[in-house]
Structure 1
Amino acid sequence: MPDPVIALKDVTLSLRGNAGMVEILHGISLDVAKGETLGLIGPSGSGKSSLLMIMGGLERATSGRVDALGHDLTALDEDQLARFRRDHMGVVFQSFNLIPTMTALENVATPLELAGASDAFERAQAELEAVGLAHRADHYPAQMSGGEQQRVALARAAAPRPDILLADEPTGNLDGKNGDAIMEMLFGLRDRHGATLVLVTHAHALAQRCDRVVRLTDGRVDDARMRAAE
């Protein structure tokens, strides 16, 4: 494999719970190639979302090393991590995480404005058109369906044209029809922008679309279920 876009080496994660420290991830080593689509699967509580958050610098590993685009994320402070995500990553959450007091257009334009883009609203409008929501640009999240909100979230993640696109159960809160539509849009955005895509999913059809699937079991990579998608 050429130099990986994401490289994890012996990553562990421990979090404090009511009964003391809980071991979430145990010595994860994993590389993701440029342009690859990687699906993370496994039962609830296996550490999939935690691993994705560590890849995005949204959660700090307890030990080990996390490299993204040649940067050691474990050595960056919170401000540096925020700037790195702004410049290089798009993140899509299951719960949409739209700003309720902003319109769809404003939600999509916000990361572009933060990055100093002079054409933030023009690019935001283009991304809304790409996900079929140009007619909803002036609507607020509460005025949109769950499927529409997730499409806005996809447009927001893709608008800065990130090198890395991370998606945590992007179809988890949607019915089958909307889930299928989001799946098509997610891979379409990846193809348009050439991003490396890592996604957490319970949806078999979505996992099958990935170049490679990694299964986590009890916070460890299950080598028997780490494969290239057929």
Structure 2
Amino acid sequence: MPDPIYTLTDAALSLDGNAGPVEILRSISFEVHKGESLGLIGPSGSGKSSLLMLMGGLERPTGGRVTALGHDLGDMSEDALARFRRAHMGVVFQSFHLIPTMTALENVATPLELAADPDAYDKARAELDVVGLAHRADHYPAQMSGGEQQRVALARAAAPRPAILLADEPTGNLDGANGAAIIDLLFGLRDRHGATLILVTHSTTLANRCDRIIRLSDGQIDPMEQAAQ
């Protein structure tokens, strides 16, 4: 079997609180392989989004190791992490995080331009077409609905053809119909580009579309799930 895309070994995360360190995650260990889709589920406050932040190099583990594509994310500098994310990861948040002063086309082209891709705008336009928004290329985020903005965010994440797609409650701010459309697009992008998908969700129905589910409870993998493995 080829080397895993991700290896987490006793990964832990503590953050400073008013009364001292707060343990957010503890003893998280698992692997994710190329092309796999993994659903992270659990109640609010269980650590799902924090775990995704560790896997995206947006938080550093305070214990254990998080390795992505053979790189120890905890040992990399901030600049190296930024370059690594730009080269290998696409991230989709619940809040769309589009740049309000840029058109849809410019938003999608931005990561390609940062990578000095000479065809940035052609690729961005093609990706907008994939998500059904070619006709919105010259519109600004404020001129689009929430569902359209999330589709632009998906196109932006997918345009550089990342090896890893990270999605944190991508349907959380959308109604049922728009949410279902976004999920179909997300899995379609995964299938079309062969990316590995890590998805945080409160929805068991959505998680069940993934190849595998990890359930978190109180900052660790649910003990019942661990016992069943």
> Does 2:123 match 1:138?
no
SS of the aligned residue for 1:162 comes to: coil
1:144-167 Cα offsets, whole Å, 9 max, x none, are 100000000000000000000000
Q: How many residues were matched structurally?
A: 227
- Please state how far the C-alpha of 1:204 moved relative to its aligned partner: 2.2
Gaps of 5+ in 2: none
- Please state how far the C-alpha of 1:224 moved relative to its aligned partner: 2.9
1:42 maps to what in 2?
42
> Counterparts of 1:75 and 1:202 in 2: how far apart (Å)?
31
- Please state how far the C-alpha of 1:30 moved relative to its aligned partner: 1.3
2:188 maps to what in 1?
188
- Please state how far the C-alpha of 1:222 moved relative to its aligned partner: 1.2
SS of the aligned residue for 2:182 comes to: helix
2:80 maps to what in 1?
80
> Counterparts of 2:41 and 2:105 in 1: how far apart (Å)?
33
Task: Within 5 Å, give how 1:36-115 maps onto structure 2.
Answer: 36-115=36-115
> Counterparts of 1:217 and 1:22 in 2: how far apart (Å)?
15
> Counterparts of 1:216 and 1:226 in 2: how far apart (Å)?
10
1:28-80 Cα offsets, whole Å, 9 max, x none, are 11110110000000000000000001001011111111110111111100000
Q: Partner amino acid for 2:134?
A: A
RMSD of aligned C-alpha atoms? Answer: 1.2
Q: Partner amino acid for 1:185?
A: L
> Counterparts of 2:218 and 2:170 in 1: how far apart (Å)?
22
The runs of at least 4 consecutive aligned structure 1 residues that moved more than 6 Å come to none
1:123-147 Cα offsets, whole Å, 9 max, x none, are 0000000000001000111111000
Report if aligned partners of 1:214, 1:226 keep a CA contact under 8 Å in 2: no
> Counterparts of 2:87 and 2:216 in 1: how far apart (Å)?
29
1:17 maps to what in 2?
17
- Please state how far the C-alpha of 1:21 moved relative to its aligned partner: 1.1
> Counterparts of 1:224 and 1:178 in 2: how far apart (Å)?
34
SS of the aligned residue for 2:171 comes to: coil
Report if aligned partners of 1:215, 1:226 keep a CA contact under 8 Å in 2: no
> Counterparts of 1:189 and 1:28 in 2: how far apart (Å)?
28
TM-score by length of 2: 0.97
TM-score by length of 1: 0.96
Gaps of 5+ in 1: none
Report if aligned partners of 1:213, 1:226 keep a CA contact under 8 Å in 2: no
Could you tell me the percent identity over the aligned residues?
Answer: 76
